[in-house]
Amino acid sequence: MATSVTNRFNELFSELEDCNEEEQKQKIEEMNGLMEEMDKEELKSVFTKELFNNILKMIEEEKLMMGNAILLLKHMGYCNMLLNMMCLSFFYSSLKRRFEKMVAEEDEKKEGKDEKLITDLSECILLFGGLTSMELSSIFVPCLLKVALKKEENEETQKEVEIALLAFSCIQLYCNIKRDLFLNEIKEIIQYHEKHHNLTRLAFQSVWQFLIILSFSTNYIVDVIMDEMNFVRETKRELEELTKCVDWKREKEEEIKGKGRKDELVLKRWLRIFEPFFAQCGLWNKECSGIIESIVQVFLVSRDFDSDIGKECIRLFEAAAENRVVKLDSLLKSGAIDAALEEIPKSTIKGKMTYYCLKFFIGISRRLKIKEIDEMEKAKRKTIKMEIFDKLEEEGYEDVIISFRGIFGFLSENFLKRLSLNISDYFVNT
């Protein structure tokens, strides 16, 4: 029976302290390759507090060279972020505390400050979701931006930039840095990419992830990303290209490997950052509807092959429906309502898809019941209400909802947001 990837990983780790620097590097490169084959559960089984504390012990006893330790930890953190994991074992480890202390000590040096070491340690901390202080964040940001602004066109630099931006997307937003300077540098990274296509898909997604989170704090940032940085155009293009790159027609049981797997994981990261965008968005125009159209296409292509992506798409429709700034006709004309209507009869009574579809239609129903004062808005609402009502009636929506009535309570107990037990809340009345 073949040795599992996790067993092989642990076996290689146990051999590191008996190797010279070059042998260690070779074993670590093999370990890094093994991690790319692991799923979330397998990674969690090897990313233990004991492992991190052992790495620190080996560094202190000079049995593991710092350069090799960073090579291993960066790739561990990279896999951690790509699979959207929460690595509490690192957060509570002695290694995290030691790395933070090393960053602070290095930054205090008047001469001979090692910025590369600060950058490497910053990336190791951030890629494991290591929440950090305002003081450390203000040290991290300039170093990470310096790497992210590199423009050399070679694979090594591209990887450095990707790691820096991935770490940058994780940083807390309480750093002492002038917003205008910060935005100018981020704009430069994006605008250079638009001309030269120098960033990987993951690096490009990471820049936007950080900006979307930052935009929650001020409408000024929202204006910049919408108007000056072409958020809608760029993200729509990325979704469409990623949807074409993923091998959807693979066997359902087959684990996707290599570049195809990475494209799928990057696509999932895009979908996760659209939820806060839809929930917090204070600006909406006709162009924004294009994002919903692209998400509908992702849903239609993926639904028979990846149920997790389908659920994420429906959650996005729900978030959009609950935001009064988002136009309901965008959800109708984009095909979002059609997609959910097709899916809900196929859902099982215990499925998350059922819950998300029901939440989506409750959101639409509530929006259509809001009273408008402006006569023109009243007329628009009446038209869109009739269109949605006709669509729901055509698809037999009311019968489906009635058939689910008995499980509203069950679904409410299993999810954070409770479903209404009042069946009329699910219906759209003319």
Taking residue 88's Cβ as centre, other Cβ atoms within 10 Å add up to 13
pLDDT averaged over every residue in the chain? 86
Q: Is the pLDDT of residue 2 over 50?
A: no
What's the average model confidence in pLDDT over 364-391?
85
Q: What is the pTM of this model?
A: 0.88
Sign of the C-alpha dihedral, residues 181, 278, 216, 168?
negative
Taking residue 281's Cβ as centre, other Cβ atoms within 10 Å add up to 20
Q: List C-alpha distances in Å: 28 to 18, 149, 217.
A: 13, 28, 41
Domain ends where: 131, 146, 168?
131
Short-list 334, 331, 355, CA closest to 344: 355
| One-character DSSP codes across 20-32 | -HHHHHHHHHHHH
Confidence (pLDDT) at 347 = 65
Whether 147 is covered by a domain: the verdict is no
Domain ends where: 131, 158, 186?
131
Q: Is the pLDDT of residue 402 over 50?
A: yes
Domain ends where: 100, 131, 162?
131
What's the pLDDT tens digit per position in 126-158? Answer: 999 866 777 888 888 889 999 999 998 889 999
Counting the structural domains of the chain, the total is 2
**Residue % of the chain over a pLDDT of 70:** 90
User: pLDDT class for 260, splitting at 50, 70, 90?
Assistant: low
Short-list 117, 37, 28, 111, CA closest to 75: 28
Short-list 344, 314, 318, CA closest to 404: 344
User: Would you tell me the crossing angle of helices 155-168 and 134-148 to the nearest 10 degrees?
Assistant: 150
Kindly provide the residue ranges of all beta strands, DSSP E only, lying in 155-210, ordered along the sequence.
Answer: none
265 with 121, same domain?
A: no
Whether 81 is covered by a domain: the verdict is yes
Q: What amino acid is encoded at 144 in this protein?
A: L
Whether 24 is covered by a domain: the verdict is yes
Q: Is the pLDDT of residue 252 over 50?
A: no
Domain range for residue 13? Answer: 1-131
Whether 264 is covered by a domain: the verdict is yes
Confidence (pLDDT) at 255 = 53
CATH code, domain with 353: 1.25.10
Whether 311 is covered by a domain: the verdict is yes
